[in-house]
Amino acid sequence: MLLPVDSEHYLEVSAEVMGALREQPGATVQVLGWDEAFVGIATGDPEAYARALQAAVMARTRLNCSVGIGDTLVRAKVATGFGKPRGVFRLTADNWLEVMGDRRTADLWGIGAKVSKRLAGLGISTVAQLAATDPAELVGEFGPRMGPWYAELGRGEGSRVIDDTPWVARGHSRETTFQRDLVEPAEIEEALRVLVAHVLEDVATEGRPVVGLTLKVRYAPFLTKMFTRKIPVTADPTEVLARALDLATRIEPDRPVRLLGFRAEMTMPEGTPATSTPPPEAGGDGPP
């Protein structure tokens, strides 16, 4: 069964949760998504502080939450998984390998199935093996930036700084999974027109022009293709629609379409910090 996502309600509740976190004494809050955030705090009793956070969220929203405690962002994020449901767990340099050493590299935040498979091809299957690997040995497979970064993940190391810079959306997107596969070009075009209209409504609230488009197509039963295109800067909805329809000519004819998605990338406001943190999509194959 497929259920619709009530994004407006999620956003409302998320704002309440983040508000409860920001009200805690001394807290610096870095929002990671609808239901995730890093909280930076200096305290001698992190477990007690974590329980206070849980109580604050419960009092304000009637929702339970899990808290991961760590001396790096990576360790705190991974620790959250051990705290579920409704618990508190601490991961630091002292117990990182004891807890994580025998686990698969895919269990690390930021390493997905594809990267884990490539690591296995190098004889690296566990977190402990990755932690013991010379970063230089990963450069040939992953490049000078990502290779050392994956080795750092294996050791649970990384940033210790909580950045509360407000996140600025780089784009807006919508997608629809159809109850019945679309096969006729006319109905595919009509569905895309509806998606584009919804996305442009979201873009209009930002007051920034569009500079790029992405069309997501999932053919039945489950083959997904992404088509992207940079476009001249424009705030004209008619121009965006025309370019979206042109991008749709890359959809293969006579293939049933199960899902359509559309994303519009916007110009960024002048002075936007490069470190502003997007909603996660962590657990993928790149840095969070």
Residue 77 sits in a domain whose CATH number is 3.30.70.270
Q: Is residue 36 flagged as an active site residue?
A: yes
CATH code of the domain containing 114: 1.10.150.20
Does any domain span residue 274?
A: no
Position 272 in a domain:
no
Any idea which residue has 């749709």 for tokens? Answer: 248
* 120 and 185 fall within a common domain: no
For residue 274, pLDDT over 50 is answered with no
Does residue 229 register a pLDDT over 60? yes
Choose the catalytic residue: 36, 141, 175, 206. 36
Phi, psi (degrees; rounded to nearest 5) at 123: 85, 20
Q: Greatest CA span in the chain, whole angstroms?
A: 64
The model's pLDDT over 133-174, given as tens digits with 9 standing for 90+, comes to 999 999 999 999 999 999 999 999 999 999 888 767 789 999
pTM of the model: 0.65
Residue 97 belongs to some domain of the structure = no
Q: Is residue 225 part of a domain?
A: yes
CATH number at residue 208: 3.30.1490.100
Q: What is the pLDDT of residues 91-114, one digit of tens each?
A: 999 999 999 999 999 999 999 889
Report for 5-14, 97-106, 172-181: range of highest mean pLDDT: 97-106
Is there a single domain that holds both residue 188 and residue 237? yes
Both 148 and 77 in one domain: the answer is: no
Range of the domain at 46: 7-91
**Looking at residue 257, what is its pLDDT?**
96
Supply the pLDDT for residue 288.
30
Same domain, 111 and 35: no
Q: What angle do CA 43, 45, 51 make, to 5 degrees?
A: 105
Give pLDDT, residue 286. Answer: 34
Spatial distance between the Cα atoms of 119 and 127, rounded to a whole number of angstroms: 11
5 or 46, which is more confident: 46
Does one domain contain both 107 and 187?
Answer: no
For residue 276, is it within any domain? no
Residue 3: per-residue pLDDT:
55
Q: Are residues 23 and 75 in the same domain?
A: yes
Considering the domain architecture, whether residues 85 and 113 belong to the same structural domain is answered as no
Q: Judge whether residue 176 has pLDDT over 70.
A: yes
Q: What pLDDT does residue 282 have?
A: 33
pLDDT for position 4: 59
254/256 Cα distance (integer angstroms)? 6
The 10s digit of each residue's pLDDT in 121-130 is 999 999 999 9
Residue 70 CA, distance from chain mean position? 20
If asked whether residues 30 and 86 sit together in one domain, one would say: yes
Mean pLDDT for 60-84 is 96
Cis preceding linkage at 85, omega within 30: yes
Tally of domains within the chain: 3
Predicted confidence (pLDDT) at residue 23 exceeds the cutoff of 70: yes
Mean pLDDT of the chain: 90
Average the pLDDT over each of 2-11, 13-22, 159-168 and give the range with the smallest value.
2-11
Is 135 in the same domain as 198? no
Q: What's the pLDDT band for 284 if we cut at 50, 70, 90?
A: very low
Calpha distance 211→233 (Å, rounded): 5
* Per-residue pLDDT, 272: 57
| Bridge partners (DSSP) listed for residue 229 | 213
Residue at 159 is within a domain: no
Residue 288 lies in a domain: no
CB 208 within 8 A of CB 192: no
Express each pLDDT in 243-268 by its tens digit: 999 999 999 998 999 999 999 999 98
Q: Following DSSP, what letter does each residue of 67-106 receive, concatenated?
A: EEEESSHHHHHHHHHHHTTT-EEEE-TTTHHHHHTTSBGG
Q: Does 49 reside within a domain?
A: yes
State whether 17 and 82 are in the same domain: yes
Among residues of the chain, what percentage have pLDDT more than 70? 91
CA distances (Å), origin 62, targets 5, 37, 83: 20, 18, 18
| Helix, strand, coil percentages for the chain (3-state, nearest 5) | 40, 25, 35
Q: Do 57 and 79 fall into the same domain?
A: yes
